[in-house]
C-alpha cells in the first residue's frame, strides 16, 4: 500500500507543518496551493488520502471534494478548514467527506488520524474478482482465465468501475463522469473502449440506447 497524502492548502505555514509531521511518520505528503495544481497532480497519480481546505485562491474545496468522490470514491477525503461551525461540518460530510477537522487543530491528533486511516486502508480488499477475472488494485494488473491481460490506464479504470458494479446497467453519461471525469461529451470513446475490452475477452452486454452491463 502506498502511503501518499495530498494536501490542498494555501497557507504555507500549515502546509509545511503537516508535511514535515507526516514525513516523520514515513508518510509521503505533497502540498498544493491551488485547485488546479492539486487536480493536475491527481490526474497523474492518485493519493490514498486527500486533505482539502475549503477557501482557496482559485476555487472551493467542497467542489474539489465532490469531483474527487464522484471520480475516485476510494480516496479517503478529509476537510481541513477554518469554517468550523456544525453546519459547515454537516455540509462537508453530506458531500462525501470521510472526516472534517476544524482549524485551529492539534497536529499530533491530525497525524494520529492519518495513521488510523492507513491502518484501515491496509485491511481493505486489494483485489476485485468477477467470474474468471481477477484485478489486483495495488499492482494494477488483471488476469482473465489465469492469464495476465495488458490494459491501458483508462481501460483499467473502466474495467474496475464495471467490476464494482456487476450486472448493473451503466449509462454512457455515468461512465463519462466516473471513468473519464467529465460531464457530457462524445460517447463514441466509450464504445471504442468497450469494444476493445470485449475483444480481449471481457463480457460486456449492450443495453441499446442506454449503455452497457458487465456480466460476471
188 neighbors 196 (Cβ within 8 angstroms): no
173 neighbors 184 (Cβ within 8 angstroms): yes
pLDDT value of position 186: 67
Average pLDDT value for the chain: 90
Q: What is the pLDDT of residues 71-113, one digit of tens each?
A: 787 889 999 999 989 999 999 999 989 999 999 999 999 999 9
Q: How confident is the model at residue 129 (pLDDT cuts 50, 70, 90)?
A: confident
pLDDT value of position 183: 62
Note whether 72 and 171 are same-domain residues: no
Note whether 138 and 199 are same-domain residues: yes
What is the C-alpha separation between 58 and 214, in angstroms, rounded?
Answer: 39
Q: Which residues contact 143 (CB under 8 A, 6 or more apart)?
A: 133, 134, 149
Q: What is the pLDDT of residues 147-158, one digit of tens each?
A: 999 998 889 989
pLDDT value of position 39: 94
Residue 187 has pLDDT above 80, yes or no: no
pTM: 0.63
What is the C-alpha separation between 131 and 216, in angstroms, rounded?
Answer: 5
Which of 99, 123, 147 is the endpoint of a domain?
Answer: 123
Q: How confident is the model at residue 167 (pLDDT cuts 50, 70, 90)?
A: confident
Note whether 86 and 158 are same-domain residues: no
The domain total for the chain is 2
Helix axes 107-123, 12-24, angle to 10 degrees: 50
Which of 88, 123, 158 is the endpoint of a domain?
Answer: 123
| CATH at 192 | 1.10.10.10
Q: What is the pLDDT of residues 39-73, one digit of tens each?
A: 999 988 889 999 999 999 999 999 999 999 887 87
pLDDT value of position 43: 86
Note whether 99 and 44 are same-domain residues: yes
| CATH at 84 | 3.40.50.2300
Range of the domain at 85: 4-123
Amino acid at each position: 500500500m502506498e502511503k501518499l497524502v495530498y494536501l490542498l492548502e494555501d497557507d504555507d505555514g500549515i502546509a509545511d507543518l503537516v508535511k514535515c509531521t507526516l514525513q516523520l511518520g514515513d508518510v509521503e505528503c505533497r502540498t498544493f496551493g491551488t485547485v488546479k495544481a492539486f487536480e493536475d497532480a491527481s490526474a497523474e497519480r492518485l493519493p490514498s488520502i486527500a486533505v482539502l481546505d475549503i477557501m482557496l485562491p482559485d476555487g472551493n474545496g467542497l467542489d474539489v471534494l465532490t469531483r474527487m468522490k464522484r471520480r475516485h470514491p476510494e480516496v479517503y477525503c478529509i476537510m481541513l478548514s477554518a469554517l468550523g461551525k456544525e453546519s459547515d461540518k454537516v455540509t462537508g460530510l453530506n458531500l462525501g467527506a470521510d472526516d472534517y477537522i476544524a482549524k485551529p487543530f492539534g497536529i499530533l491528533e491530525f497525524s494520529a488520524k492519518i495513521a488510523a486511516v492507513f491502518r484501515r486502508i491496509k485491511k481493505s480488499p486489494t483485489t476485485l474478482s468477477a467470474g474468471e477475472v481477477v484485478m489486483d488494485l495495488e499492482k494494477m494488473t488483471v488476469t482473465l482465465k489465469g492469464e495476465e491481460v495488458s490494459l491501458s490506464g483508462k481501460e483499467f479504470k473502466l474495467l474496475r468501475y464495471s467490476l464494482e458494479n456487476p450486472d448493473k446497467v451503466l449509462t454512457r453519461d455515468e461512465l463519462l463522469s466516473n471513468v473519464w471525469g467529465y460531464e457530457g461529451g462524445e460517447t463514441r470513446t466509450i464504445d471504442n473502449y468497450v469494444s476493445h475490452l470485449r475483444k480481449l475477452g471481457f463480457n460486456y452486454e449492450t443495453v441499446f440506447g442506454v449503455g452497457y452491463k458487465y456480466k460476471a
